[in-house]
């Protein structure tokens, strides 16, 4: 799937929805709970059909990144499925440390 910044994606196996913050130039296979995500803002699954190997909780308001391919997504609705890009789990983006005020 070719992603665009601002695009909404929804899971077909649980309640997860995301927005693409930064899209890579090449095509990416973005999955949630082991099933490919679809364009749209309404998730259609309930989490009951997810294989246990694809569980991992997507968290509301967290950004998930893959720096190698240049992908960043924001979770707008949580679910029980793990977010993967090209078959690799997406880690939560870590916060940057604030500069000291001294």
DSSP 3-26: --TT-EEE-SSSS-EEEEEE--SS
- Contact between residue 14 and residue 76 where contact means Cβ atoms under 8 Å apart: no
* 3-class secondary structure, 52: helix
Spell 55-80 as b/e; 16+ CB within 10 A means b.
ebebeeebbbbbeeeebbbbbbbbbb
What is the band of 49 on the pLDDT scale with cuts at 50, 70, 90? confident
User: Is the whole model's pTM more than 0.85, yes or no?
Assistant: yes
Burial of 90 (0-12, 13-18, 19+ CB in 10 A): buried
pLDDT at residue number 69: 95
What is the band of 102 on the pLDDT scale with cuts at 50, 70, 90? low
pLDDT at residue number 23: 95
R_g over Cα of the chain? 14
């Amino acid at each position: 799937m070719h992603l665009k910044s601002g695009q909404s994606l929804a899971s077909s196996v649980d309640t997860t929805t995301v927005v693409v913050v930064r899209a890579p130039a090449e095509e990416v296979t973005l999955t949630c709970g082991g099933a490919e995500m679809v364009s749209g803002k309404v998730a259609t699954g309930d989490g009951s059909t997810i294989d246990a190997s694809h569980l991992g909780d997507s968290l509301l308001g967290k950004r998930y990144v893959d720096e190698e391919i240049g992908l960043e997504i924001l979770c707008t609705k949580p679910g029980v499925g793990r977010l993967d890009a090209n078959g690799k789990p997406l880690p939560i983006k870590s916060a940057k440390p604030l500069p000291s005020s001294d």
